[in-house]
Amino acid sequence: MLNKEKVKLGIAPIAWTNDDLPDLGKENTFEQCVSEMALAGFTGSEVGNKYPKDPEVLKKALELRGVEICNAWFSTFLISKPYEETEAEFEKHVAFLAAMGAKVVGVSEQSYSTQGIQDQPVFEGKHEMDDREWDLLCTGLNRLGKLSKEKYGVALTFHHHMGTVVQSAAETDRMMEHTDPEYVSLLFDSGHFAYCGENPVEMVTKHIKRIKHVHLKDIRPEVVKKVREEKMSFLAGVRAGAFTIPGDGCVEFEPIFKVLEDAAYEGYMVVEAEQDPAKANPLEYAIRARKFIAEKTGL
Ligand SMILES: O=C1C[C@@H](O)[C@H](O)[C@@H](O)C1=O
Ligand SMILES: [Co+2]
Protein backbone atom coordinates (compact mmCIF):
# COMPACT_ATOMS: atom_id res chain seq x y z
CA MET A 1 0.00 0.00 0.00
CA LEU A 2 1.18 3.53 -0.70
CA ASN A 3 1.45 5.49 2.53
CA LYS A 4 -1.53 7.84 2.94
CA GLU A 5 0.48 10.18 5.13
CA LYS A 6 3.33 10.45 2.62
CA VAL A 7 1.69 10.30 -0.80
CA LYS A 8 -0.68 13.08 -1.79
CA LEU A 9 -2.94 13.28 -4.82
CA GLY A 10 -3.20 16.25 -7.12
CA ILE A 11 -4.69 17.10 -10.48
CA ALA A 12 -3.57 19.56 -13.14
CA PRO A 13 -5.83 22.40 -14.35
CA ILE A 14 -4.96 21.55 -17.96
CA ALA A 15 -8.04 19.30 -18.20
CA TRP A 16 -10.25 22.36 -17.54
CA THR A 17 -8.32 25.07 -19.36
CA ASN A 18 -5.35 24.43 -21.62
CA ASP A 19 -2.75 27.20 -21.57
CA ASP A 20 -1.13 25.87 -24.76
CA LEU A 21 -4.48 25.76 -26.61
CA PRO A 22 -6.45 28.58 -24.98
CA ASP A 23 -9.67 27.85 -26.90
CA LEU A 24 -9.91 24.51 -25.07
CA GLY A 25 -11.94 25.24 -21.95
CA LYS A 26 -11.98 29.02 -22.39
CA GLU A 27 -15.45 29.02 -20.77
CA ASN A 28 -14.17 27.30 -17.60
CA THR A 29 -13.31 29.65 -14.75
CA PHE A 30 -10.57 29.29 -12.14
CA GLU A 31 -13.22 28.88 -9.42
CA GLN A 32 -14.99 26.08 -11.28
CA CYS A 33 -11.69 24.33 -11.90
CA VAL A 34 -10.49 24.32 -8.28
CA SER A 35 -13.96 23.58 -6.88
CA GLU A 36 -14.25 20.52 -9.12
CA MET A 37 -10.74 19.34 -8.21
CA ALA A 38 -11.81 19.37 -4.56
CA LEU A 39 -15.17 17.77 -5.31
CA ALA A 40 -13.43 14.90 -7.09
CA GLY A 41 -11.26 14.28 -4.01
CA PHE A 42 -7.91 15.87 -4.88
CA THR A 43 -5.93 18.01 -2.44
CA GLY A 44 -3.20 19.27 -4.75
CA SER A 45 -3.14 21.38 -7.89
CA GLU A 46 -0.57 22.65 -10.33
CA VAL A 47 -0.87 26.19 -11.68
CA GLY A 48 -2.77 27.40 -14.75
CA ASN A 49 -2.90 30.77 -16.47
CA LYS A 50 -6.28 31.65 -14.99
CA TYR A 51 -5.01 31.27 -11.43
CA PRO A 52 -4.66 34.52 -9.42
CA LYS A 53 -1.05 35.75 -9.55
CA ASP A 54 -1.11 37.14 -6.00
CA PRO A 55 -0.06 34.31 -3.62
CA GLU A 56 -2.40 35.54 -0.85
CA VAL A 57 -5.44 35.66 -3.13
CA LEU A 58 -4.62 32.26 -4.58
CA LYS A 59 -3.97 30.74 -1.16
CA LYS A 60 -7.32 31.94 0.18
CA ALA A 61 -9.25 30.55 -2.80
CA LEU A 62 -7.49 27.21 -2.46
CA GLU A 63 -7.75 26.97 1.33
CA LEU A 64 -11.52 27.43 1.07
CA ARG A 65 -11.55 24.24 -0.98
CA GLY A 66 -8.90 22.24 0.88
CA VAL A 67 -6.46 22.36 -2.04
CA GLU A 68 -2.79 23.41 -2.16
CA ILE A 69 -0.31 24.16 -4.93
CA CYS A 70 2.14 21.29 -5.33
CA ASN A 71 4.12 22.32 -8.42
CA ALA A 72 4.16 24.62 -11.42
CA TRP A 73 5.79 24.13 -14.81
CA PHE A 74 8.87 26.20 -15.64
CA SER A 75 10.45 26.43 -19.12
CA THR A 76 14.24 26.70 -19.13
CA PHE A 77 16.34 27.85 -22.11
CA LEU A 78 19.70 26.69 -20.82
CA ILE A 79 21.18 25.70 -24.16
CA SER A 80 19.98 28.66 -26.21
CA LYS A 81 20.07 31.71 -23.90
CA PRO A 82 22.57 33.08 -21.37
CA TYR A 83 22.23 31.16 -18.07
CA GLU A 84 21.54 34.39 -16.14
CA GLU A 85 18.36 35.06 -18.13
CA THR A 86 16.88 31.70 -17.22
CA GLU A 87 18.02 32.01 -13.61
CA ALA A 88 16.36 35.41 -13.11
CA GLU A 89 12.96 34.09 -14.29
CA PHE A 90 13.43 30.80 -12.45
CA GLU A 91 14.11 32.53 -9.14
CA LYS A 92 10.87 34.57 -9.36
CA HIS A 93 8.94 31.40 -10.18
CA VAL A 94 10.46 29.42 -7.30
CA ALA A 95 9.90 32.29 -4.85
CA PHE A 96 6.20 32.20 -5.81
CA LEU A 97 6.05 28.41 -5.35
CA ALA A 98 7.80 28.63 -1.98
CA ALA A 99 5.28 31.30 -0.88
CA MET A 100 2.54 28.85 -1.86
CA GLY A 101 4.14 26.08 0.18
CA ALA A 102 5.08 23.87 -2.78
CA LYS A 103 8.00 21.48 -2.30
CA VAL A 104 8.98 20.96 -5.95
CA VAL A 105 9.30 22.86 -9.21
CA GLY A 106 8.86 21.06 -12.54
CA VAL A 107 11.37 22.16 -15.14
CA SER A 108 11.38 21.43 -18.86
CA GLU A 109 14.12 22.51 -21.28
CA GLN A 110 12.26 24.31 -24.04
CA SER A 111 15.13 25.38 -26.32
CA TYR A 112 14.20 24.27 -29.86
CA SER A 113 11.13 22.46 -28.50
CA THR A 114 8.53 21.48 -31.09
CA GLN A 115 5.86 21.04 -28.44
CA GLY A 116 4.08 24.33 -29.22
CA ILE A 117 4.63 24.44 -32.99
CA GLN A 118 1.31 23.88 -34.73
CA ASP A 119 2.53 22.47 -38.07
CA GLN A 120 5.56 20.50 -36.85
CA PRO A 121 5.02 16.71 -36.72
CA VAL A 122 5.81 15.67 -33.15
CA PHE A 123 7.52 12.47 -34.27
CA GLU A 124 9.89 14.32 -36.63
CA GLY A 125 12.59 16.96 -36.49
CA LYS A 126 13.25 16.96 -32.78
CA HIS A 127 16.48 18.75 -31.79
CA GLU A 128 19.29 16.40 -30.74
CA MET A 129 21.83 18.00 -28.40
CA ASP A 130 25.57 17.91 -29.11
CA ASP A 131 28.12 17.46 -26.31
CA ARG A 132 28.44 21.19 -25.68
CA GLU A 133 24.66 21.54 -25.32
CA TRP A 134 24.49 18.55 -22.99
CA ASP A 135 27.07 20.20 -20.82
CA LEU A 136 25.20 23.52 -20.80
CA LEU A 137 21.95 21.76 -19.88
CA CYS A 138 23.32 19.62 -17.06
CA THR A 139 25.53 22.35 -15.59
CA GLY A 140 22.64 24.81 -15.74
CA LEU A 141 20.23 22.37 -14.09
CA ASN A 142 22.69 21.76 -11.26
CA ARG A 143 23.02 25.50 -10.68
CA LEU A 144 19.27 26.11 -10.74
CA GLY A 145 18.65 23.11 -8.48
CA LYS A 146 21.24 24.31 -5.95
CA LEU A 147 19.62 27.75 -5.89
CA SER A 148 16.06 26.48 -5.43
CA LYS A 149 17.06 23.96 -2.78
CA GLU A 150 19.39 26.12 -0.72
CA LYS A 151 17.53 29.44 -0.93
CA TYR A 152 13.90 28.31 -1.09
CA GLY A 153 13.77 24.68 0.08
CA VAL A 154 12.18 23.69 -3.26
CA ALA A 155 13.46 20.64 -5.16
CA LEU A 156 14.08 20.94 -8.90
CA THR A 157 12.41 18.04 -10.74
CA PHE A 158 13.07 17.65 -14.47
CA HIS A 159 10.14 16.92 -16.80
CA HIS A 160 11.09 14.82 -19.88
CA HIS A 161 8.62 15.72 -22.65
CA MET A 162 7.65 14.94 -26.24
CA GLY A 163 9.27 17.22 -28.80
CA THR A 164 11.94 18.47 -26.41
CA VAL A 165 15.67 17.79 -26.11
CA VAL A 166 14.99 15.31 -23.30
CA GLN A 167 12.29 13.01 -24.63
CA SER A 168 13.56 9.43 -24.88
CA ALA A 169 14.75 6.97 -22.25
CA ALA A 170 18.37 7.39 -23.41
CA GLU A 171 18.13 11.18 -23.17
CA THR A 172 16.52 11.00 -19.74
CA ASP A 173 19.20 8.55 -18.56
CA ARG A 174 21.99 10.82 -19.81
CA MET A 175 20.47 13.89 -18.16
CA MET A 176 20.12 12.02 -14.86
CA GLU A 177 23.64 10.61 -15.05
CA HIS A 178 25.23 14.01 -15.61
CA THR A 179 23.32 15.96 -12.98
CA ASP A 180 23.87 16.03 -9.24
CA PRO A 181 21.33 13.97 -7.24
CA GLU A 182 21.58 16.63 -4.52
CA TYR A 183 20.13 19.25 -6.85
CA VAL A 184 18.28 17.54 -9.70
CA SER A 185 15.47 15.01 -9.38
CA LEU A 186 13.10 13.52 -11.93
CA LEU A 187 9.50 14.40 -12.62
CA PHE A 188 8.29 11.05 -13.94
CA ASP A 189 5.48 11.42 -16.48
CA SER A 190 4.05 8.03 -17.47
CA GLY A 191 2.25 9.44 -20.53
CA HIS A 192 5.27 11.06 -22.15
CA PHE A 193 7.36 7.89 -21.95
CA ALA A 194 4.51 5.79 -23.35
CA TYR A 195 3.89 8.32 -26.14
CA CYS A 196 7.43 8.06 -27.51
CA GLY A 197 7.45 4.27 -27.28
CA GLU A 198 9.45 3.88 -24.07
CA ASN A 199 8.43 1.57 -21.24
CA PRO A 200 7.21 3.69 -18.29
CA VAL A 201 7.62 0.77 -15.86
CA GLU A 202 11.30 0.38 -16.77
CA MET A 203 11.86 4.12 -16.40
CA VAL A 204 10.15 4.44 -13.01
CA THR A 205 12.11 1.41 -11.80
CA LYS A 206 15.45 2.75 -13.03
CA HIS A 207 15.06 6.25 -11.56
CA ILE A 208 12.85 5.66 -8.54
CA LYS A 209 15.48 6.88 -6.05
CA ARG A 210 15.48 10.31 -7.70
CA ILE A 211 11.78 10.72 -8.48
CA LYS A 212 10.20 13.53 -6.45
CA HIS A 213 7.06 14.25 -8.47
CA VAL A 214 4.81 12.05 -10.61
CA HIS A 215 2.42 12.89 -13.45
CA LEU A 216 -0.17 10.17 -13.91
CA LYS A 217 -0.95 10.52 -17.60
CA ASP A 218 -2.33 7.89 -19.94
CA ILE A 219 -2.40 7.70 -23.75
CA ARG A 220 -4.94 6.44 -26.25
CA PRO A 221 -2.68 4.28 -28.44
CA GLU A 222 -4.92 4.48 -31.51
CA VAL A 223 -4.73 8.29 -31.41
CA VAL A 224 -0.95 8.29 -30.91
CA LYS A 225 -0.67 5.91 -33.92
CA LYS A 226 -2.70 8.38 -36.00
CA VAL A 227 -0.49 11.26 -34.80
CA ARG A 228 2.58 9.35 -36.01
CA GLU A 229 1.09 8.18 -39.33
CA GLU A 230 -0.56 11.44 -40.23
CA LYS A 231 2.44 13.51 -39.13
CA MET A 232 0.41 15.54 -36.65
CA SER A 233 1.86 18.06 -34.23
CA PHE A 234 1.92 17.58 -30.46
CA LEU A 235 -0.93 20.06 -29.98
CA ALA A 236 -3.02 18.54 -32.80
CA GLY A 237 -2.57 15.25 -30.95
CA VAL A 238 -3.86 16.81 -27.74
CA ARG A 239 -6.97 18.05 -29.57
CA ALA A 240 -7.48 14.61 -31.11
CA GLY A 241 -7.39 12.97 -27.66
CA ALA A 242 -3.90 11.48 -27.46
CA PHE A 243 -3.90 11.92 -23.67
CA THR A 244 -6.39 10.77 -21.09
CA ILE A 245 -6.74 9.97 -17.41
CA PRO A 246 -4.99 6.96 -15.83
CA GLY A 247 -6.93 3.78 -16.46
CA ASP A 248 -8.51 5.03 -19.68
CA GLY A 249 -5.61 4.23 -22.04
CA CYS A 250 -2.86 1.65 -22.53
CA VAL A 251 -0.39 2.54 -19.76
CA GLU A 252 -0.14 -0.16 -17.10
CA PHE A 253 -0.40 1.68 -13.80
CA GLU A 254 -0.39 -1.26 -11.40
CA PRO A 255 3.34 -2.02 -11.82
CA ILE A 256 4.12 1.71 -11.64
CA PHE A 257 2.24 2.02 -8.33
CA LYS A 258 4.04 -1.10 -7.09
CA VAL A 259 7.48 0.41 -7.78
CA LEU A 260 6.47 3.61 -5.98
CA GLU A 261 5.09 1.60 -3.08
CA ASP A 262 8.15 -0.67 -2.74
CA ALA A 263 10.39 2.39 -2.66
CA ALA A 264 8.17 4.11 -0.05
CA TYR A 265 7.67 7.04 -2.43
CA GLU A 266 6.91 10.35 -0.74
CA GLY A 267 5.41 13.25 -2.64
CA TYR A 268 2.64 14.06 -5.04
CA MET A 269 1.04 11.96 -7.76
CA VAL A 270 -0.76 14.36 -10.07
CA VAL A 271 -3.38 13.32 -12.62
CA GLU A 272 -2.56 15.21 -15.77
CA ALA A 273 -4.78 14.59 -18.76
CA GLU A 274 -5.06 17.38 -21.27
CA GLN A 275 -7.90 16.79 -23.68
CA ASP A 276 -10.80 18.75 -25.09
CA PRO A 277 -13.14 19.53 -22.15
CA ALA A 278 -16.06 19.72 -24.58
CA LYS A 279 -15.52 16.01 -25.33
CA ALA A 280 -14.19 14.86 -21.95
CA ASN A 281 -16.04 16.58 -19.11
CA PRO A 282 -13.27 17.55 -16.65
CA LEU A 283 -15.26 16.82 -13.48
CA GLU A 284 -16.43 13.45 -14.77
CA TYR A 285 -12.89 12.46 -15.78
CA ALA A 286 -11.44 13.75 -12.50
CA ILE A 287 -13.90 11.59 -10.54
CA ARG A 288 -13.09 8.57 -12.71
CA ALA A 289 -9.36 9.11 -12.21
CA ARG A 290 -9.76 9.48 -8.45
CA LYS A 291 -11.78 6.23 -8.32
CA PHE A 292 -9.17 4.39 -10.39
CA ILE A 293 -6.35 5.50 -8.05
CA ALA A 294 -8.38 4.48 -5.00
CA GLU A 295 -9.05 1.03 -6.48
CA LYS A 296 -5.43 0.41 -7.45
CA THR A 297 -3.62 1.93 -4.46
CA GLY A 298 -6.05 2.23 -1.56
CA LEU A 299 -5.33 5.98 -1.40
O1 LIG B 1 3.44 18.46 -17.53
C2 LIG B 1 2.96 18.83 -18.58
C3 LIG B 1 2.60 20.28 -18.79
C4 LIG B 1 1.93 20.59 -20.13
O5 LIG B 1 1.93 21.95 -20.43
C6 LIG B 1 2.47 19.68 -21.16
O7 LIG B 1 2.34 20.02 -22.48
C8 LIG B 1 1.95 18.31 -20.79
O9 LIG B 1 1.94 17.39 -21.83
C10 LIG B 1 2.70 17.86 -19.59
O11 LIG B 1 3.05 16.70 -19.43
CO1 LIG C 1 3.46 16.15 -17.37
Residue 274 Cα, ligand 2 centroid: separation in angstroms?
9
Each residue's pLDDT, cut to its tens digit, for the chain (299 residues) gives: 899 999 999 999 999 999 999 999 999 999 999 999 999 999 999 999 999 999 999 999 999 999 999 999 999 999 999 999 999 999 999 999 999 999 999 999 999 999 999 999 999 999 999 999 999 999 999 999 999 999 999 999 999 999 999 999 999 999 999 999 999 999 999 999 999 999 999 999 999 999 999 999 999 999 999 999 999 999 999 999 999 999 999 999 999 999 999 999 999 999 999 999 999 999 999 999 999 999 999 99
DSSP 213-265: EEEE-EE-HHHHHHHHHTT--HHHHHHHT-EE-TTSSS--HHHHHHHHHHTT-
Instruction: Check: CB of residue 252 under 8 Å from CB of residue 5.
Output: no
Ligand nearest to the CA of 107: 1
Q: Which atom of ligand 1 is nearest to the CA of 161?
A: 11
Q: What is the pTM of this model?
A: 0.98
As for ligand 1, residues whose beta carbon falls within 6 Å of it are: 14, 20, 73, 115, 159, 189, 192, 215, 272, 274
Give the pLDDT confidence score for residue 233 in this predicted structure. 98
Element (DSSP H or E) covering residue 57: helix 55-63
- The ipTM value here is 0.97
Which numbered atom of ligand 1 lies nearest the CA of 159? 1
